[in-house]
Each structure stands twice: as structure tokens, then as C-alpha cells.
Amino acid sequence: MLGDLTMDFVTQQNELDEELTIIVVSYNTRALTLRALETLYENAGDVRMRVIVWDNASADDSADAIAAAFPQVELVRCPDNLGFAVANNRASEMVRSEWMLLLNPDTETYPNAIAALLDFAKANPRAGIVGGRTVFPDGSLNPASCWNKITIWSLICNAFGLAAAFPASPIFNPEGIGGWKRDSVRQVDIVVGCFLLIPTALWRKLDGFQAKYFMYGEEADLCLRAAKAGYRPMITPDAQIMHLVGASTPQLARKLLQLMQARATLVHDHWSPATRWLGLLLLQLWSFNHVIKSRLMQVIGKGGPKNDAWFELWGSRSHWLKGYGQNTN
């Protein structure tokens, strides 16, 4: 159930005519969300789509601005910040179309991106979940459209700085798929939720996101569960968007905590009991090594907010190592 929510609806087309529903979850990103919607409508072409914006109790008048500028959007004004996973789950209850696309508010859609992604998904049904190529505002590659899953080797590479030292290496940066410019069709473990297309039937078969993933990790868990069901997520370079990354979590310490908590949850959920302890140990080692590095930076007079964030993360390790708690959809 959607509960006590305020919704602005404008019905533009027959319910059976829409092929794709696009869900945008907004939280204090007014200017970015407006630009995301502007470029979406400018560049969607002939795609028969419906757009739902779920506003997570933004305090920057995002909802009023969206309603004024885009009356064709179905706007949900949620009184509470439910987080990314639950907000998408709630919004997905409104979906009637065959396909649904998750799109971040800090994105700009390029011409033909939506149509190309939809065509690619139709041509590759065994992928189940598909994504595209993301770039930064200057046009340079933003590799964070996809990842490979966490493994013992990837955590070793992170803990000892190998991934950071050799980002272009597929051996030492396995999660980041080092060296691949996202310029070819490829199977990946994880399609990131900033630009993620999935058949609505598969989304419902998987029960959407696990609600306990408040922020980060939810799409990794979804893709790993899809893989267990026999699907193979894929990326196509023909669908390209701009993605800023992290616009809704500007505080570094909080973002680090959420990221590590999400990674610990993935280890708890997807690793065997025989290896889970090692994964959690390596996450601690990663954090500890950053603390040592940060302390050395302070000694030579180069301390700063990033160093402080790692100290804060290490101090709260007993909290984030437990992973996210259980919530309900």
C-alpha cells in the first residue's frame, strides 16, 4: 500500500498504451531533478513512457518546482525520507507497463539513450537487467554505471591499495572492471541503479529491492539475486547518459558509512558462512589502512575532511560491520 501520500496526477495516455515507466527518486536535488526531467523529455524520442517522480520529503521545494515545470509527471510527495530502495519499491507499485527504468535525479539523458536501452533489453531477454554507459559533465567516462561483485580478491586489492594504484588493471581493480571503457556490449555482475532497465515482471518476481538497503548496495543485491535465477545483466554503450554520482549524499563521512554498511550487508547476504568472516575482516582492514594513511597525512600537514571521515568510519566499525537491519517494504 502507498499509505498517506500526496500525489499529483495528469493522465496523458491510455493505460495500455505505455510501454515504459520511468521512476525518479528525488531528495533535495531540486535543480538537478528539473534538469534530469528536461533532458529526459527532450531526448526520449518516440518512446511511449510514463514518468513517476517520488519525492522523499525534500526540504528544498523540489516537489513544488517539479509540479510547476512538469505537470505531465506523476508526482508523489512522500512525507518521510524512505531511502532509495523503499521509495523505488513503493513507486513500482504504480507501474502498469511491461518495462520499468530507474533513473537518478543527478543525470542528463542523451539523445536516443532511452530507446536504445529499451531496444537492447528486448534483443537480450536473458540479460534480465540492462544498463548503459555513463559520463561526467565534461564527457569523460564515469565508470560507475556497472561493477563486478565483491570477492575475496577484490577486497584484498582494495584493502592494500592495489585497486587505487592500478585503476586500469582488470587484475588489480576487478570490481571496477579496470581497463574497460564501457564502450562495448558486455555481461557484468551489477548494473547500477542510476540507469537500470528491467522487465516489470522480473522486478516483481524478485520482489524489487530489499528494503533494508537504505542507500547503496540495493542494485548489487538485486542483480546478484537475478543471476541466481539464471539472468545475466548486461551493459550497452549505445545508451549513454551523464551522471554526477552522489548528489544526494554530500557529507563524506555519512556516505562512507553507508557504503561500508552496504558492502558488509552484501557479504552477509551473498557469501557463504565459511568465507563471510574473511570478507568482514578484509573490510575492517581496508578501513584501518585508510586510517593509517590518514594519520600519516596529518603528520606531514596534509590532513583534511577526507582523513577525518576515515577516522569516523573506523570508530563506528562495530555498527557498519553488522550491515543493514531488517525493514519491511
186-196 tens-digit pLDDT = 999 999 999 99
Amino acid at 117: L
Cα(100)–Cα(11) distance, rounded to whole angstroms?
Answer: 18
Cell of 107: 543525470
Rounded average pLDDT over 317-324: 94
Rounded average pLDDT over 40-46: 94
pLDDT surpasses 80 at 215? yes
In the chain, what is the straight-line distance between the N-terminal and C-terminal CA atoms, in Å? Answer: 9
The count of C-alpha atoms lying within 13 angstroms of the C-alpha of 32, restricted to the half-sphere facing its C-beta, is 22
For residue 10, what pLDDT is reported? 46
Rounded average pLDDT over 207-213: 95
Cell of 225: 539475486
For residue 223, what pLDDT is reported? 98
CB 214 within 8 A of CB 84: yes
pLDDT surpasses 70 at 258? yes
Other Cβ atoms closer than 10 A to 284: 17
For residue 8, what pLDDT is reported? 66
Cα(300)–Cα(308) distance, rounded to whole angstroms?
Answer: 15
Can you tell me which residue has the cell 529499451? Answer: 118
Lowest mean pLDDT among 60-69, 93-102, 135-144, 290-299: 290-299
**% of the chain beyond a pLDDT of 70:** 91
Of the pLDDT bands very low, low, confident and very high (cuts 50, 70, 90), residue 303 is: low
Which of 184, 183, 187, 182 lies closest to 232 in space, CA to CA? 187
Of the pLDDT bands very low, low, confident and very high (cuts 50, 70, 90), residue 67 is: very high
3-state secondary structure 53-117: EEEECCCCCHHHHHHHHCCCCEEEEECCCCHHHHHHHHHHCCCCCCEEEEECCCEEECCCHHHHH
CB 270 within 8 A of CB 221: yes
Cell of 81: 525520507
pLDDT surpasses 50 at 13? no
Averaged pLDDT score across all residues of the chain: 91
Cα(144)–Cα(112) distance, rounded to whole angstroms?
Answer: 20
Cα(242)–Cα(108) distance, rounded to whole angstroms?
Answer: 5
For residue 7, what pLDDT is reported? 64
Who wins on pLDDT, 242 or 4?
242
Cα(324)–Cα(212) distance, rounded to whole angstroms?
Answer: 6
**pTM, to two decimals:** 0.91
pLDDT surpasses 80 at 202? yes
Rounded average pLDDT over 222-244: 97
For residue 328, what pLDDT is reported? 44
Of the pLDDT bands very low, low, confident and very high (cuts 50, 70, 90), residue 27 is: very high
pLDDT surpasses 50 at 221? yes
Can you tell me which residue has the cell 543493514? Answer: 324
For residue 11, what pLDDT is reported? 44
pLDDT surpasses 90 at 325? no
CB 121 within 8 A of CB 236: no
Lowest mean pLDDT among 11-15, 141-145, 236-240, 266-270: 11-15
Of the pLDDT bands very low, low, confident and very high (cuts 50, 70, 90), residue 247 is: low
For residue 250, what pLDDT is reported? 57
**% of the chain beyond a pLDDT of 90:** 81
Alpha helical stretches, state H, the chain: 30-43, 62-69, 83-92, 113-123, 152-159, 162-165, 200-205, 218-228, 252-270, 273-299, 305-315, 317-320
Of the pLDDT bands very low, low, confident and very high (cuts 50, 70, 90), residue 214 is: confident
